[in-house]
Amino acid sequence: MLNKYARAFFTRVLTPFAAFLIRRGVSPDTVTLIGTAGVVAGALVFYPRGEFFWGTVVITLFVFSDLVDGNMARQLGRSSRWGAFLDSTLDRVADGAIFGGFALWYAGRGDDNVLCAVSIFCLASGQVVSYTKARGESIGLPVAVNGLVERAERLVISLVAAGFAGLHKFGVPGIQYLLPVALWIVAAGSLVTLIQRVVTVRRESEEAEAAAARQENQGSGAAT
């Protein structure tokens, strides 16, 4: 849902900014690299110190680069395999930094080993969820399932909760519990999504093998 509606909305909003960068001679790859660096810095500088509000502000400013670079590439007519590879690879780096930042907080001054483990699970499961789709497509399967919690949902749930949880330092009582709740939701949703994709890949691989076997039998029958 987020990929379908929110991405389309923000793409339209950011189109003039993308055009401005193109006129200034900035390349889409440069935007991708700067955006990832900003997300990583925001996550690993602020989150381990418990500065969730300001960390989320910084990350949010840079996370829109994921839409800007693609918009620039389309305006330039220069969409390429390299650009897609770089964008996808650096997305994983950014995601790892965000959940790694949460894990560092809970392993340190946050002092909660369970939530540290949940954060690490969110980090690992997010990477595996992405891998299952990429690997399935690489062996010729469509992997025709989106799943319950994809990257957009993981980021929105986690960053919104972290941003609000950070308001605890401004005197808002009880709001710090939003982040633990969000992490548990992301962990459970990622597990369900992983299962959905694995089941889908298994079904599609069995269907592909059955179709190949039927074609082979039909070819053998025609030859005789």
Residue 95 known to bind ligand: no
Would you say the C-alpha torsion 145, 151, 157, 160 has a positive or negative sign?
A: negative
CA dihedral 49, 54, 60, 65 (to 10 degrees): -80
| Amino acid identity at 174 | G
Q: The pTM is what?
A: 0.88
Structure tokens at 1: 């849902």
Residue 200 known to bind ligand: no
Active site includes 91?
yes
CA distances from 97 to 46, 79, 115, 224 (A): 11, 27, 16, 61
**How does pLDDT run across 196-220, given as a tens digit for each residue?**
999 999 999 999 999 888 887 877 6
C-alpha span between 169 and 9 (Å, rounded): 32
Q: Which of 91, 95, 111, 112 is catalytic?
A: 91
Residue 193 known to bind ligand: no
**How does pLDDT run across 113-158, given as a tens digit for each residue?**
999 999 999 999 999 999 999 999 999 999 988 788 988 899 999 9
